[in-house]
Amino acid sequence: MFKIIEGNFNNPEVNELLKKHFIELRAASPEESTHVLDIPGLKAPSIKFWSLWDDSKLLGCGALKFLDKEHGEFKSIRIHDNFRRQNIGAKLIEHLIIEAKKLKIKRISIETGAGKFFEPARKLFEKCKFKPCEPFAHYKSDPNSLYYTLQIYND
């Protein structure tokens, strides 16, 4: 049984996973196309952050940024290297969608990279039923970025 913990930035394992995430994403995209948030950015009041655990093992993390009261954006979706290719990414997104529903979010969008490095992320989002979409919120058309969205419920 997985447990999801809100916040938890001070946990050294969570901190290390996020730092590795930031370094890899910044290395994989040109600076003007890098939209990853650092830890202070993830602590903004418009963002909720969770880590996913199996007992004492950190499996991954992810955040939900409120774009408006019904539209959110997933940020910093990251699976620990030890748990990749085990369907943990889909489990994490499933948990994040449950949390988004509790917060009355109706639609979730994601920006990810267009390069080969980001192919596993794109496959995961497509597996989780996200559909390609136009840039949303503050994003602009960018050959280094792709955008996805998922309607999680209607009135």
Taking the mean position of all CA atoms in its chain, how far away is CA 10? 19
Query: Which residues have C-beta within 8 Å of that of residue 42, sequence separation ≥ 6?
Result: 9, 18, 49, 63, 75, 76
Higher local confidence (pLDDT), 137 or 23: 137
Q: What is the pLDDT of residue 84?
A: 86
Give the pLDDT of residue 25.
Answer: 67
* Residues of the domain holding 59: 2-151
Q: How many CB atoms lie within 10 A of CB 102?
A: 9
- What pLDDT is stored for residue 33 in this prediction? 67
**How confident is the model at residue 151, as a pLDDT?**
96
Q: By percentage, how much of the chain surpasses pLDDT 70?
A: 92
Q: What is the pLDDT of residues 72-81, one digit of tens each?
A: 999 989 999 8
Look at the chain and report how many structural domains it folds into: 1
Q: What pLDDT sits at residue 81?
A: 86
16-72 tens-digit pLDDT: 888 887 777 666 776 776 666 778 888 889 999 999 999 899 999 999 999 999 999
- What pLDDT is stored for residue 2 in this prediction? 84
- Residue pair 109/148 in contact (Cβ under 8 Å)? The answer is yes
Task: Write down the pTM of the prediction.
Answer: 0.87
> Residue with structure tokens 């620990």?
80
- Provide the CATH number for the domain around residue 51: 3.40.630.30
